[in-house]
Amino acid sequence: MPVGHVSRVRALYRRILLLHRVLPPDLKALGDQYVKDEFRRHKTVGSDEAERFFQEWEAYAAVLWQQANENRHNSTEKSCFGISLPEERLNDFRDEQIGQLQELMQEATKPNRQFSITESRKPKF
């Protein structure tokens, strides 16, 4: 992998994790884990798939940055993050990717989050 490509991917990865800091804690934890898994999963893909992957994550970072700025300026309204995925875009996805999207949507829309952000502490005896 070319050095320039590696540094470009690392910079995008860091930028996304920084942008996640504006998310509510439960969505930040979910997003951080998803990003880490996806970047790890795509380490060895071919150049065409790598470029598409990079473009999609660049678009995600741009939308998140814009929404973070809008939410900061509209402090009286509830923060809103994300965009709708048009149904025609789903035709470009593999079955595995659609399954991942369904799992992500289910986790992100649970009324009571299934994970905790608190630190684990050893019981005192």
Percentage of residues of the chain with pLDDT beyond 90: 32
Count of alpha carbons within 13 Å of 109, Cβ hemisphere only?
7
Mean pLDDT, residues 94-120? 71
Q: What is the pLDDT of residue 76?
A: 66
The number of residues in the chain equals: 125
Mean residue pLDDT of the chain comes to: 82
Q: Which of 67, 85, 75 is nearest to 20 (CA)?
A: 67
Q: What is the pLDDT of residue 54?
A: 92
CA distance 70 to 64: 10
Q: Domain spans of the chain?
A: 3-108
Residue 121 gets which letter from DSSP?
-
Asked if residue 45 lies in contact with residue 53, where contact means CB atoms within 8 angstroms, the answer is yes
pTM above 0.85, yes or no: no
Residue with the bigger pLDDT between 77 and 11: it is 11
